[in-house]
A and B are shown apart, each in its own frame.
Chain A
Amino acid sequence: MISVENIDKSFTLHTQGGVSYSVLEGVSFRVKPGECLVLNGPSGAGKSTLLRALYANYKVDRGHILIRHNDQQIDITEAEPRAILAIRRSTVGYVSQFLRTIPRVSALDVVAEPLLGLGVEQDVAYEQACTLLERLHIPERLFHLAPATFSGGEQQRINIARGFLPGYPVMLLDEPTASLDARNRQVVVELIEEAKARGAAIVGIFHDEEVREAVATDYLEMTALESAA
């Protein structure tokens, strides 16, 4: 489902004297349906950068990232914006550490939106969204409020619901359990196991060792690179 070939990623900060540093060098791996690759390494090793590159949110300097979309292998490092948006709509889901949503939109709308974008009937989408939010122990009184005022853990669960609801074939998870209590961590582990069972290819970052060991089928060890000025 995912094939990463020899990617490099560096950042050049033109506003800070043109300092340049390398974050990823020659990274390659493959993830098949039903597998969960866990990115392992200290902070600053480029785990989140790699995940963002897989979502085409960051641009790589070199190499290829192939994603299977509608029975075609697409290199997202070369794809047009509209192709990437189509891939994000139906193939790749991304759960970030922090909720970045549009203000003034209710939690329920945030969660149901990707399903509606796939053409799912409104009633069905909202019903499924409610079921998943309940499973993640979000109190019903919050459903119709904008998540901006929610606690960190609540926002994270809204984010998880939004990412898991459409059943994407590829899932990218950036510390989805970071601010959750044991009960909700367990729900997320179950959601990941269900996604694997239906054949999703998953790449994730998990600081919680218990979660990591529960879901990982493989590890990618990462280390921070020497920075070059």
Chain B
Amino acid sequence: MSPELDQSQPLLTVNGLSHYYGSQLGCSNVGFDLYPGEVLGIVGESGSGKSTLLKCLSAVLPPSEGEVIYRDRTGLPHDIYQISESARRMLRRTDWGVVEQNPRDGLRLGVSAGANIGERMMAVGARHYGGIRSEAESWLDKVEIDLGRIDDLPTTFSGGMQQRLQIARNLVTRPRLIFMDEPTGGLDVSVQARLLDLLRGLVAELGLSVIIVTHDLAVARLLSHRLMVMQRGQVVESGLTDQVLDDPQHPYTQLLVSSVLLP
């Protein structure tokens, strides 16, 4: 766990966040603080509103109500839907990272693995080819991709490799906050396990703050410090991860926990 956890200013503050698709509720009146080094898991079934919430938080879907305040590296708060579109884009490229469930949504498939990493560096001003190349190599190594594949297209990679490449592409700019939507979804169990080990190590090593959406309670237990449980757009329970999973209070959380099959 990161020593940063004791810093007293939240990185992200969410107040009264709701989103409606027409009259259909996406998520309702969500509020929380996320502190540096904290990993927040959002769990619930499909349709519970967790992905809608993640989109609202990560500045891709303006909420119908409420605000999302991000505190930058100098400590200044920004309401992410009040700042300009270019400032928001810059934020997503520098301070934030988004790991999509489907790596094809988070990668550029027409350029090489190395270029996928280098592109994010150039977006924040890196220009020196040698420097970019060696940084790309070091990140491929960190995510356990053979350096011999640096010039290959991501389309020639397996699903697990693509996901690891997406993670490298996101982390190369040293973001402070990472959003992940079912990062291990659709992967074989053995590949999933390796990816989880990698994520766990990187999150601790870099002291990242993470908001991770998953329907897999084992993934949530392994990666997150605290949990929010969502049902029909509402947060029905939240707290310390092991407390929520070992002593669930809400009927829906109890149902979720008791529905897990143990091997």
A contact set with B: CB distance below 8 Å: 11, 13-15, 52, 56-59, 81-82, 84-86, 89, 102-104, 117, 119
Give the nearest-CB partner of B242 in chain A: A57
**Min distance, Cβ B235 to any Cβ of chain A, angstroms:** 14
Q: Is the CB of A52 within 8 A of B246?
A: yes
Interface segment out of the listed B1-9, B53-61, B174-182: B1-9
B contact set with A: CB distance below 8 Å: 1, 3, 5-6, 35, 38, 193, 197, 200, 222, 225-226, 239-243, 246-247, 249-251, 254-255, 258
**Min distance, Cβ A111 to any Cβ of chain B, angstroms:** 17
Q: What does DSSP make chain B's interface, helix, strand, loop or mixed? A: helix
**Alpha-carbon gap, A57 to B241, bound state (A):** 9
Interchain Cβ contacts within 8 Å, total number: 50
Q: Is the CB of A15 within 8 A of B240?
A: no
**Alpha-carbon gap, A59 to B243, bound state (A):** 7
**Min distance, Cβ A180 to any Cβ of chain B, angstroms:** 25
Q: Is the CB of A86 within 8 A of B6?
A: yes
**Min distance, Cβ A92 to any Cβ of chain B, angstroms:** 13
Q: Is the CB of A102 within 8 A of B222?
A: yes
Q: Is the CB of A58 within 8 A of B35?
A: no
Give the contacting residue for B249; candidates A15, A57, A59, A104; CB below 8 A.
A59
A-B contact pairs, 24 of them (CB 8 A): A13-B254, A14-B255, A52-B246, A57-B242, A57-B246, A57-B247, A58-B243, A58-B247, A59-B239, A81-B225, A81-B239, A81-B240, A82-B5, A82-B38, A82-B226, A86-B6, A89-B1, A102-B200, A102-B222, A103-B193, A104-B193, A104-B197, A117-B1, A119-B3
List the B side residues contacting A81 at CB < 8 Å: 225-226, 239-241
List the B side residues contacting A84 at CB < 8 Å: 240
Give the contacting residue for A58; candidates B226, B241, B246, B254; CB below 8 A.
B246
Give the nearest-CB partner of A104 in chain B: B197
List the A side residues contacting B242 at CB < 8 Å: 57
Give the nearest-CB partner of B259 in chain A: A15
List the A side residues contacting B241 at CB < 8 Å: 81
Give the nearest-CB partner of A49 in chain B: B247
**Alpha-carbon gap, A81 to B222, bound state (A):** 16
